[in-house]
Chains A and B, each alone.
Chain A
Amino acid sequence: MAKKPGFVFHYNQFKDKIYNYFWYRVGFDQKLAEDLTSEAWLKAWKNFDDFDDSRPFGPWIFTIARHHLINYYKIAGRETSLTDKEDFFPAAADGIEQRLELERIIKIINSLEAADKEALLLRFVEGLGNAEIAVLLGKEEGAVRTQVSRGLAKLRKLINQ
């Protein structure tokens, strides 16, 4: 059976978001994030027949990216820290102060529990809604909401210390 039309359309819509997802999770390693993005999209293409057109594409592609990342971690043998690289988002922030502030936030996010960290990144970096995160993580929407609030509270506490 032929692939459904529109895969390239979805690709155009989500390519940067998926790249960003990997970029934040592989210590801002551009090359590695690009490779993982490419592999995830090819995996998505191969499974596009299974995609239910009536459901949103976002959670589906993020699920593929997440599984791909988990596989990568298994092969790499460890989870890459967000702050493994010293210069982790070059030229991304304007001004030294703002940049230092963002680096500090990233470091603190990285120090959070894995579940809180993931919920915060998905919510604020990837810009997904609670319902989409719930689908992606296989949780109830309410549980996600609680997780995000709890993560924010922990983050606020750590920042203000």
Chain B
Amino acid sequence: MDNLEKKLNNLPQAKLRWSADLKIRIKLYTFIIQRRLQVFFGWGLANHHLGRRALALATLVLLIFGSTSWYAYANDSITQGNALYPLKRVVETVKKQTAFTPDAKVKTHEQLSERRLQEAVILSQQAPAEQTTEQRQEIKEHLQKSIDEAVSEISSAAQEVRAVDSKEVKRAAAERLEEKERRRVNYLEEIEKKAEERQDEELKEKIKGAKEAVKKYRELLREQPKREPAEENKKEDGTQEAAEQKTDGLKINNNEQRPERAIRRQSGQELEQKND
């Protein structure tokens, strides 16, 4: 190799700037993803004019549906009877299904019970003077249903705590109990005021049941850890029955929705009579 060839070999070699490199990569990866989507759907959607429109439309629909569902979920004023309420419940169901740990399950049930009570407060505050008889009846039903569902969620939280029988889960629930209970009781008292104003005895009964469920849940969380099995065996039958009765007490006012609970409750009442 002579001197000239060496000089030619030494001519400067430029390198692509990183910013330009990045731009090209972004474009390339966009094409790659577009092509993979095209293969995935198999319709040639990504390149076809109408296909692109369909994809854009589908994305838009998904965005609208997603944001509406989230709005419904996050909005406390959306109560039963509202057009967006089913969406709210769908998101809640998803949330329940995706709560995998026992603690997350308990938390979700607690949160949902609070939400139902909040909704009940909003329903109770709707002015009856502005409503027709049919509307009043409808709101009354929704209100009662909300309270029933709140009780049902508290019962589910209690069942979860009992089923797991984990000190950690119980302790975590006990730690947040005070604040949550205060809120629940406040909600119930607000509804109670309205029930008294309207002299709605049926509603008062529901509230009484709900308060009882809240109280039972507190007792459950403050209950001492279980004794050793040997010690447990020494307990008298009557004590066991009483314990069974206590757990059944959480399910009051939820009987309309779950007939099997009504039967259990009935058997609990029979036990009570026996004990007396």
Provide the bound-state CA to CA distance between A131 and B13, in Å: 22
Q: A135 at interface (Cβ–Cβ under 8 A)?
A: no
Starting from the known contacts A8-B25, A45-B32, 9 additional A-B residue pairs (CB-CB under 8 Å) come to A11-B28, A15-B24, A20-B15, A34-B20, A42-B24, A45-B28, A102-B11, A120-B8, A124-B11
Q: B12 at interface (Cβ–Cβ under 8 A)?
A: yes
* Given A34-B17, A38-B23, A152-B4; A92-B12 close (CB under 8 Å): yes
State the Cβ distance, A33 to closest chain B Cβ, in Å: 7
State the Cβ distance, A61 to closest chain B Cβ, in Å: 13
Using a CB–CB distance below 8 Å, which chain B residues touch chain A?
4-5, 7-17, 20-21, 23-25, 27-28, 31-32, 35-36, 39
Q: Which applies to chain A's interface (DSSP): helix, strand, loop or mixed?
A: helix
Q: Which applies to chain B's interface (DSSP): helix, strand, loop or mixed?
A: helix
State the Cβ distance, B187 to closest chain A Cβ, in Å: 57
Using a CB–CB distance below 8 Å, which chain A residues touch chain B?
1-3, 7-8, 11, 15-16, 19-20, 23, 28, 30, 33-34, 37-38, 41-42, 45-46, 89, 92-93, 101-102, 105-106, 120, 123-125, 152, 155-156, 159
Cβ-neighbour of B4 out of A7, A38, A156 (below 8 A) = A156
CB neighbours (8 Å) of A156 from chain B are 4
Q: Are A19 and B16 in contact (CB under 8 A)?
A: yes
* Given A20-B14, A37-B16, A93-B12; A15-B31 close (CB under 8 Å): no
Provide the bound-state CA to CA distance between A124 and B39, in Å: 42
